[in-house]
């Protein structure tokens, strides 16, 4: 008998037939004797329509009342799934986040989990019920309903798995695992059997949309092994876990691509201590997130600083750095849209050399110009023209022999 935490995302519970299918899957599993805690998201589209409704009564809805409103989305799915389970003669107890004992800080719409009191869940599990928990929500110490922000339901599931010491944590979504590259772009992309937390984090940070970094970080911190898999099939998914020795045999685990990027350059910045701090703290103060930052060696006391932001933030970022550049007596900033970030990720990079060279050669062969380069211990990212991005991903995927990376015999070919 295993204790399993499952999480079903918005598309997996998107309508009544979907909820019914999920209920059937849970009922079968429950009959096999497993103890199940099931975390659900709002039905797809519900959170957006609640937000639209909120914006009709307040231009900028926030705080306590927005969370109270948004929490109804997951509460609804929780109730419906419990009913669907009852219709299949499977005992189920629905719980809101607060009832499940999820205590958060008071930062509405992006609360952090402080602590989970699992007593109630344990009691219902012991009584033989499936426990259905509303994801994405909790309660602060004053008893006010909070929500956890983007990816919040994944976080609920992983946090519950940690606290309950679950044997398994299964994240059901609309893709059947983590791939070496986006299969819509690279038809021969391979599904990965396993991936390390760090690789998953780098994939998430560089455009792979499977999961938010935050949940992966939480899983890494509390050593929660989880599986990303599809609620629409019975296929094995991808196990995300701490790295093992054998993982290092694969140099590159996968390729990710982030589109809709923009590049900003401040040329001829005086190369003094504190200059970069000045620029980037003013950007951060305005809530714009910066992704890659590159600064090259200085030339006669002046250097160029280039960074990327999401295209949507470009005009705001420009408005912020223009006065800053003036104040620093740098040249006027230059902006460029239509760029994308391609990243190759793999913990094997640490022990294998020549990865960067192979990447650049592949891009050169495909005639793709590299505009920026940034590296971390297990990732190399390049900024390239968005128009050649798909071709670049396919070429690089090929160059690292990833099409067969998920097959055992090909693992050593990396």
Site for a copy of itself, rule CB under 8 A: 16, 19-20, 23, 50, 53-54, 56-59, 61, 64-66, 68-69, 71-72, 75-76, 78-84, 86-87, 92-94, 96, 99, 120, 143-145
Rounded CA separation 317/332 (Å)? 13
Rounded CA separation 253/202 (Å)? 10
Rounded CA separation 201/208 (Å)? 9
Rounded CA separation 182/113 (Å)? 31
Candidates 66, 228, 31; CA nearest to 136 is 66
The full length of the chain comes to: 414
Based on CB atoms, which residue is closest to a copy of itself, 86 or 278?
86
Least Å from the CB of residue 411 to a copy of itself:
44
Least Å from the CB of residue 235 to a copy of itself:
26
Asked whether residue 172 is marked as a ligand-binding residue, the answer is: no
Asked whether residue 184 is marked as a ligand-binding residue, the answer is: yes
Phi, psi for 319 (deg, rounded to 5): -60, -30
Least Å from the CB of residue 30 to a copy of itself:
16
Asked whether residue 73 is marked as a ligand-binding residue, the answer is: no
Least Å from the CB of residue 103 to a copy of itself:
14
Asked whether residue 10 is marked as a ligand-binding residue, the answer is: yes
Asked whether residue 33 is marked as a ligand-binding residue, the answer is: no
Least Å from the CB of residue 360 to a copy of itself:
52
3-state helix, strand, coil in the chain (%, to 5): 40, 25, 35
Rounded CA separation 357/368 (Å)? 14
Calculate ∠ Cα 36-41-43, nearest 5°.
120
Based on CB atoms, which residue is closest to a copy of itself, 123 or 209?
123
Calculate ∠ Cα 179-242-7, nearest 5°.
60
In DSSP terms, 264 is beta-bridged to 307, 335
Based on CB atoms, which residue is closest to a copy of itself, 69 or 125?
69
Asked whether residue 341 is marked as a ligand-binding residue, the answer is: no
Least Å from the CB of residue 124 to a copy of itself:
11
Rounded CA separation 402/21 (Å)? 34
Least Å from the CB of residue 79 to a copy of itself:
4
Neighbour tally for 366: CB within 10 Å: 17
Do residues 62 and 111 make contact, with C-beta atoms less than 8 angstroms apart? no
Asked whether residue 355 is marked as a ligand-binding residue, the answer is: no
Asked whether residue 249 is marked as a ligand-binding residue, the answer is: no
Least Å from the CB of residue 82 to a copy of itself:
4
158 alpha carbon, distance to own chain's centre: 13
Based on CB atoms, which residue is closest to a copy of itself, 85 or 309?
85
Candidates 71, 200, 221; CA nearest to 139 is 71
Asked whether residue 104 is marked as a ligand-binding residue, the answer is: no
Q: How many CA atoms lie within 13 A of 256 on its CB side?
A: 22
Asked whether residue 174 is marked as a ligand-binding residue, the answer is: yes
Q: Copy the structure tokens of residue 141.
A: 């110490």
In DSSP terms, 130 is beta-bridged to 92
Do residues 110 and 149 make contact, with C-beta atoms less than 8 angstroms apart? yes
* DSSP strand pairing (102-104 vs 92-95): unpaired
Least Å from the CB of residue 67 to a copy of itself:
8
Q: Which residues are annotated as a binding site?
A: 7-10, 47, 74, 173-174, 179, 184, 209-210
Q: Which residues are annotated as a binding site for ATP?
A: 7-10, 173-174, 179, 184, 209-210
């Amino acid at each position: 008998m295993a204790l399993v935490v499952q999480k079903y995302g918005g598309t997996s519970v998107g309508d009544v037939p979907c909820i019914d299918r999920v209920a059937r899957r849970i009922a079968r599993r429950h009959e096999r004797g497993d103890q199940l805690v099931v975390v659900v998201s709002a039905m797809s589209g519900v959170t957006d329509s609640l937000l639209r409704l909120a914006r009709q009564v307040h231009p900028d809805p926030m705080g306590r009342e927005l969370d109270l409103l948004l929490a109804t989305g997951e509460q609804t799915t929780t109730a419906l799934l419990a009913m669907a389970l009852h219709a299949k003669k499977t005992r189920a107890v629905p719980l809101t986040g607060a009832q499940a004992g999820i205590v958060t800080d008071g930062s509405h719409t992006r609360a952090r989990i402080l602590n989970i009191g699992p007593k109630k869940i344990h009691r219902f599990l012991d009584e033989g019920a499936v426990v259905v928990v509303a994801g994405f929500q909790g309660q602060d110490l004053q008893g006010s309903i909070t929500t956890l922000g983007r990816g919040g339901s994944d976080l609920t599931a992983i946090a519950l798995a940690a606290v309950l010491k679950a044997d398994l944590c299964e994240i059901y979504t609309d893709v059947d695992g983590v791939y070496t590259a986006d299969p819509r772009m690279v038809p021969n992309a391979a599904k990965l059997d396993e991936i390390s937390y760090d690789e998953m984090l780098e994939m998430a940070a560089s455009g792979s949309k499977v999961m938010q970094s935050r949940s992966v970080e939480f899983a890494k911190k509390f050593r929660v092994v989880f599986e990303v898999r599809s609620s629409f099939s019975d296929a094995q998914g991808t196990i995300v876990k701490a790295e093992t020795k054998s993982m290092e045999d694969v140099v590159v685990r996968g390729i990710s691509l982030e589109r809709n990027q923009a590049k900003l350059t401040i040329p001829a910045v005086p190369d003094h201590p504190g200059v970069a701090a000045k620029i980037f703290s003013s950007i951060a103060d305005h809530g714009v997130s910066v992704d890659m930052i590159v600064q090259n060696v200085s030339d006669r006391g002046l250097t160029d600083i280039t960074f990327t932001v999401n295209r949507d933030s470009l005009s705001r970022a420009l408005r912020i750095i223009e006065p800053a550049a003036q104040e620093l007596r740098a040249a006027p900033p230059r902006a460029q849209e239509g760029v994308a970030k391609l990243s190759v990720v793999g913990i094997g990079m640490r022990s294998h050399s020549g990865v960067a060279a192979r990447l650049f050669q592949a891009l050169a062969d495909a005639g793709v110009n590299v505009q920026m380069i940034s590296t971390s211990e297990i990732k190399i990212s390049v900024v390239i023209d968005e128009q050649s991005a798909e071709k670049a991903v396919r070429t690089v995927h090929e160059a690292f022999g990833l099409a067969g990376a998920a097959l055992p015999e090909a693992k050593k070919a990396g």
